[in-house]
Structure 1
Amino acid sequence: MRNVVIGFLGTQLDMGKRREWRPSVQLCEHPDFPVDRLELIHDQRHYHLACNVAKAIAKTSPDTEVRLVSIDMANPWDFQEVYGKLYDFAAEYGFDEDRERYHVHLTTGTHVAQICWFLLTESRHIPARLLQTGPPREGAAPQGTLDVIDLDLTRYNALQRRFEAAARDHSAMLLGGIETTSPAMQALAARLDLVATGSDAPILLLGDPGTGKSHLAAQIHELKLVRRRIKGRLVQVNCATLRGGQALPALFGQRRAATGVAGSERPGFLREADGGVLFLDHIDELGLDEQAALLQVIETGRYCPVGSEAEVTARFHLIATAASAPGALVRAGRLRPDLHARLSQWVVRLPPLRERRQDIQAHLLDMIDSSERQLDRKTGFNADALVRYLRFAQDPGTLWPGNLRDLHASAHRMAVLAERGRITVPMVEAEIATLIEQWNSATADLDEVLLAEVLPDSARLDEFDRAQLAAVIRACRECANLSAAGRRLFAMSRAEKASQNDADRLRKYLSRFGLDWAAVSGNQPG
């Protein structure tokens, strides 16, 4: 691979007045470090010096290509200006890591420039190593020394804060621009930022349907592109659609020899994802044979397409989703233990909407904005209508079984039906009734199954009692103990009661049906 070095022109050292050693020139003379191209950054005031340095390099290292890069800075000691100019340089530069190795020369330029170089390489905006050269020691080679170095940033708090702000921007990217106030989502985004930047290992996303796993996979792909971890596209595969004999050809590709039929060749999803991200949705739906073949590709980067005896290569970052935790899938025989070991390094669980109700308003308004763009008209809530909708949406009794998918459908319905661009209280009431009806119809049969687990003679209950008791049992199973379940179930009426012992109220309610905490939750009494 070609060595490319990026560095500033030394306006004093490269003149060679104090000593014969000129860092930009002698950098290109190290026999064990050939420089194929030097990107020499200068301002217009020192253009002639840059030309002289380029000529000197041409004499001593004729194989080195020197590119003069003009970047004018009013104040080379101004952190904001230097960082901004170098950031723009990095953003516009066409890095090609498959063919070139990049290095940043720190010897020339100000201390400010050195720190900015460090920040840009540390954040992978510039995919390079840092080089420090020095004058020759007594009796040593005339080209001087060349070392890989590190920098101490502890004194540069202002730049560190700017770097942290950039990290927060990347976390916001993972959340799709939604300003979450949920501690769980903030921690998840911060962790994923580190994982997506520092690791190429597979990422397994878990969560209830509709929590946004597919959207998060797309955002991780975008972040990896920004951080220059990948260069390829995102290839999304729903593994539930890969059945029988079509699974292997779809994933690994197929040669004509497999069928003998012209036009039966296909590249396969793995080939399409080469250099990018392969997103396998519902990976536990793959057959065990396909899982074994996939594991080999993850570990070696090589595989044989169907109908071929010649190996091909594919390097991709894997993101997968599964119906439940990988350990449970292994016990159920739906996931190979060796694939489980590979997927368990980075497991991320997306919390359901009911666990982060404080984010509902931000998601709702963002979804209304998206609907505005689709409908090409301005849409908004009347103040009292927004209050009414949020009171329902954030109520502990509103479980949002479809999570963000339900919320998105609800927001879009209201936006479409807001003929004059305003969502009113009657429209909100109608939408709430629609949601309740949909959820009740979807869970009616599930209520019967749930009640039969804990109450064999549940058929004797009135319809009202069956629905209420099923909701109480679900709340108990989703809470850590009796007190937590009581707080959730009686959140709205607590203020009206003389006694606020929610656990006792719930215990008495269950006893009406001959039940207790252990019977409905499977836990010890709490």
Structure 2
Amino acid sequence: MSSSARRLLILDDDPGVVDFLRESLEEKGYETVGLSSPHEALARVRLEEFDLVITDIEMPEMRGTELLTAIHEVKPNQLVLFITAFGSIESAVAAVKAGACDFVTKPFKIEVLLLAIERALRERQMRREIVRLRTALPTESPGDLVARSPAMRKLLDIARRAARSDATVLLTGETGTGKSCLARFIHDTSSRRDAPFTQLNCAALPTNLIESELFGVKRGAFTDAREDRVGLFVSAGEGTLFLDEVGELPLETQAKLLHALETGRVRSVGATAEVAVRARVIAATNQPLETLLREGQFRPDLYYRLNVIRLEVPPLRERREDVVPLADLFLSRANDRHSREVLGLSAAAMKRLASYSWPGNVRELANLIERAVALSEHDTLLPEDLDFPQKDDEVAALLMTGAEKGVPLEEIERAYIRRVIEAHGGNKAAAARVLGIDRRTLHRKVEG
């Protein structure tokens, strides 16, 4: 391994030892910083990046094991190599168990120390490559989807079967759950995989443009129609047309979409003739279409035409086994996007991810990890790197989600009680005290 640009911090209470090690290692191409004070060394580690810290284990100002603990509090993955006298081998072994990468015993030849340094740096590089490649290896989770949880494995199994047919698919679920990823998975698994996958967010366009986008427009049909343009039904060819937020379509456009689905033909805005289309349609909504039906905002005939195969994408809080694998996936992508080398998440950070309620679902997790990777000063993400909303914001998000989806008060209450239990580490007695109810009442409300 080339020692080029490898930066080492050398610490020993004997300045003569420090000078000797610096001179020997710099001759081998390493960049070194030499110190005799553990407190000064800890301050430098906080502010600067070192590939390896080499320190004596027995120092009057601070023991090396204490320094190791202090270093790992600020940089959990900092490599630390101990130099120890023969009588302190037991302490050195204990330090390795506590997180040091290796130790060498005095007296030693410089070649022995060099081998230990190279081994430590090589093993760290291998761990980084493992982290980098982990999400690139084939797994049970295809594409952008992670399916460690039983709920997602069942969903993907049904999606694979749906891909074998040409039936219309309706994807439902909260915002940010990954409905567009599932639509892409169905397309990529189907016989249409080599044809285009075309998508339209029905909520992103004004009403007067949706029809021309879907069905095409003839030159002169309206003021800005300066040339003929085919719509997405035609440009999708024999592929898949994914209509996201289909519940946002105006009623007039719903009627034309129903006609296209029933006849396999569309008419461009301003045209007199229809053309045949062969695209398979997958629609998605985060709104309960049944509510829109009752309110007269969605056509019953279109609802039944779309609702041939219905797949409900579960919210992230109901598939907690997927949270950490998803975080790994987003971390790897954020590393590539921001040219960072964050190795992973600390155990405490993973525990925090697993206990959060995720009102914004997978999209919220992706944004949180990307922000953490972009701003973190560590090579491992710590809880303080994760910018979770304040508790008041979590409660507001829960209430907002409930209001938008028309969730009954009883379910909102149950979700809030579960959140309080999670916040108290599963301690139901403590949660009951905070809520001002007895444990029997808490159990009844949670179990419904």
Q: Same fold (TM over 0.5)?
A: yes
Aligned CA RMSD, in angstroms, stands at 3.7
Q: Which residue of structure 2 lines up, in the alignment, with residue 176 of structure 1?
A: 144
**Contact preservation (8 Å) 2:213, 2:232:** yes
The aligned length equals: 305
Q: Which runs of 5+ in 2 are unaligned?
A: 1-137, 404-408
2 CA distance for matches of 1:229 and 1:342?
21
Q: Of 372, 380, 384, which residue of structure 2 is paired with 1:423?
A: 380
- Could you tell me how far 1:269 is from its partner in structure 2? 1.6
Say yes or no: does 1:362 pair with 2:331.
no
Say yes or no: does 1:331 pair with 2:294.
yes
Q: Of 344, 357, 366, which residue of structure 2 is paired with 1:399?
A: 357
Q: Which residue of structure 1 lines up, in the alignment, with residue 175 of structure 2?
A: 209
**Contact preservation (8 Å) 2:220, 2:227:** no
- Could you tell me how far 1:300 is from its partner in structure 2? 1.3
Q: Which residue of structure 2 lines up, in the alignment, with residue 490 of structure 1?
A: 421
Q: Of 326, 329, 347, which residue of structure 2 is paired with 1:387?
A: 347
Distance 1:475 1:247, change over 3 A: closer
- Could you tell me how far 1:250 is from its partner in structure 2? 1.8
**Contact preservation (8 Å) 1:171, 1:190:** no
Say yes or no: does 1:476 pair with 2:413.
yes
Q: Which residue of structure 2 lines up, in the alignment, with residue 440 of structure 1?
A: 392
**Contact preservation (8 Å) 1:230, 1:275:** no
Q: Which residue of structure 2 lines up, in the alignment, with residue 192 of structure 1?
A: 159
- Could you tell me how far 1:256 is from its partner in structure 2? 1.7
Say yes or no: does 1:309 pair with 2:276.
no
**Contact preservation (8 Å) 2:265, 2:275:** yes
Which amino acid letter does the alignment assign opposite residue 476 of structure 1?
Answer: E
**Contact preservation (8 Å) 2:359, 2:394:** no
- Could you tell me how far 1:508 is from its partner in structure 2? 7.5
Pairwise mapping of residues 57-136 of structure 1 onto structure 2 (< 5 A)?
A: none
Structure of greater relative contact order (alpha carbons < 8 Å, 6+ residues apart): 2
2 CA distance for matches of 1:415 and 1:329?
41
- Could you tell me how far 1:208 is from its partner in structure 2? 1.0
- Could you tell me how far 1:190 is from its partner in structure 2? 0.6
- Could you tell me how far 1:282 is from its partner in structure 2? 0.6
Pairwise mapping of residues 503-514 of structure 1 onto structure 2 (< 5 A)?
A: 505=432, 509-510=436-437
Distance 1:377 1:246, change over 3 A: closer
Distance 1:443 1:334, change over 3 A: farther
Task: Tell me the SS of whatever aligns to 1:232.
Answer: coil
- Could you tell me how far 1:298 is from its partner in structure 2? 1.0
Which amino acid letter does the alignment assign opposite residue 321 of structure 2?
Answer: Q
Distance 1:507 1:364, change over 3 A: closer
2 CA distance for matches of 1:449 and 1:192?
26
- Could you tell me how far 1:336 is from its partner in structure 2? 0.6
Residues 32-68 of structure 1, C-alpha deviation per residue, up to 9 Å, x if partnerless? xxxxxxxxxxxxxxxxxxxxxxxxxxxxxxxxxxxxx
Task: Tell me the SS of whatever aligns to 1:279.
Answer: strand
What is the percent sequence identity of the aligned residues? Answer: 31
- Could you tell me how far 1:257 is from its partner in structure 2? 4.6
Q: Which runs of 5+ in 1 are unaligned?
A: 1-168, 452-471, 480-484
Which amino acid letter does the alignment assign opposite residue 211 of structure 2?
Answer: L
1 CA distance for matches of 2:259 and 2:228?
22
Which amino acid letter does the alignment assign opposite residue 201 of structure 2?
Answer: N
- Could you tell me how far 1:251 is from its partner in structure 2? 1.3
Task: Tell me the SS of whatever aligns to 2:330.
Answer: helix
2 CA distance for matches of 1:493 and 1:256?
64
- Could you tell me how far 1:295 is from its partner in structure 2? 1.0
2 CA distance for matches of 1:170 and 1:195?
21
Task: Tell me the SS of whatever aligns to 2:296.
Answer: coil
Say yes or no: does 1:371 pair with 2:334.
yes
**Contact preservation (8 Å) 1:239, 1:281:** yes
Distance 1:338 1:280, change over 3 A: same
